[in-house]
Amino acid sequence: MRASGTTTYFDPRDLSWEAEGTAIQAATPIFVGLSVAVEVRNEARVC
C-alpha cells in the first residue's frame, strides 16, 4: 500500500477545475518516483 498526501496551493483568481487540472499536470513530473501518492488541490476553493 502506498502512502498518500495532499499538496495544496492557493489561487483565488481562478477556482475552476480546468485551472486545477493545469496545476496537477505541472506538479505530476515533480512527484514522479516518490513512494507517496500526491493529490494537488486549490485551497482557495474551500475558503
Instruction: Supply the pLDDT for residue 2.
Output: 66
Instruction: Supply the pLDDT for residue 19.
Output: 96
The average confidence (pLDDT) of the chain is 89
Could you tell me where the DSSP H helices lie in the chain? 17-31
Grid cell listed for 45: 476553493
Collapsing DSSP to helix, strand or coil, 44 comes out as: helix
Q: How confident is the model at residue 7 (pLDDT cuts 50, 70, 90)?
A: confident
Question: Residue ranges of the domains in the chain?
Answer: 3-46
Instruction: Supply the pLDDT for residue 25.
Output: 95
Instruction: Supply the pLDDT for residue 33.
Output: 87
Amino acid sitting at position 32:
V
Instruction: Supply the pLDDT for residue 5.
Output: 82
Given a cut of 70, whether residue 17 has pLDDT beyond it is yes
Cα Rg, the chain, nearest whole Å: 11
Instruction: Supply the pLDDT for residue 13.
Output: 96
Grid cell listed for 14: 481562478
